[in-house]
A = this chain, B = another copy of it.
Amino acid sequence: MDDDTTDAMPWHTPVIEALRAGDHNRVADLDANGTPGFDGDKALGERLLEERGGVLSDLQEMLYACGRTGDNRAVLLILQGMDTAGKGGMVRHVVGHVDPQGVDHAAFGVPSPEEKRHHFLWRIAKALPRGGQLGVFDRSHYEDVLVARVRNLVPESVWSKRYDEINQFEHEIVGTGTVLVKVAMFVSLDEQKKRLRERLERRDKHWKYNPNDVSERPLWPAYQDAYQDMLDKTSTDYAPWYVVPCDRKWYSRIAVTELLIEALEGLDLDWPAPTFDIEVEKRRLAES
């Protein structure tokens, strides 16, 4: 492989095949330490992240340019995963490659009292990216079929209807020209313990530690069921889920970089045509 290649050659299987939710990557059997589709090691992965981050950045600039000239298309990255799976790092190290003015980031924590008074999709709809933007959701409406289900925050009669509501909602979003890149991030319980311990041991990581994260650990079997149901019921042709093993951060980051590149390339973007006469403007400028 040449030093300046920007191919994703170390992928023996295209990432959208290797990671797409299906029978080959059931949650209960998932190897969170795996690197599906990828042959290289960490060093190659880190080099590739820089190379492909540049490709992502160029594509995103074209999307942004299109948005500035009235194109309604957008890309929305949805990051859903267990605590410590690396959602924050994904934003910093993958989304961090692109121009901040083209990024529309939203994090969804425990709903506010106002949000609770509304339908669960109300706060989501408000945060959807405008045309030309790369939207990023750190958690999402899927909390409402994960923690809401496992913690019995609403009765089953409520959460069980949400899968269909989500599918309908996402179908509408896709219809307006937004490509959804839905990423389910999985870390093993052992790796999670290691990461939580690091948060306890380092002064600069204490702020990331939440005692509740430990309380969630015994519930992992229930969460596994909830995640599997989510994948089964809401991975659709128009908005598929990708299952990303996250014990190796470098792998999860190049995988999501490729998913975003794939989404942007699928838009078949081009630089917007000028809305002015170039020769006339050259003369005007020369005379100014």
Contacts and interface: CB of A to CB of B under 8 A. Distances in A.
A83 to B, nearest CB: 12
A63 to B, nearest CB: 11
A211 B91 contact: no
Interface string A215-240: 00110000000000000000000000
A131 B67 CA distance: 29
Interface string A245-288: 00000000000000000000000000111101010011011001
Nearest to A193: B285
Nearest to A218: B288
Interface residues of A, number: 42
12 contacts: A62-B204, A88-B101, A91-B101, A92-B99, A103-B105, A193-B288, A200-B278, A206-B278, A207-B271, A211-B276, A214-B288, A218-B288
Contacts of A111: none
Copies in the complex: 2
A107 interface: yes
Contacts of A211: 276, 281, 284
Interface string A54-86: 000000001001001100000000000000000
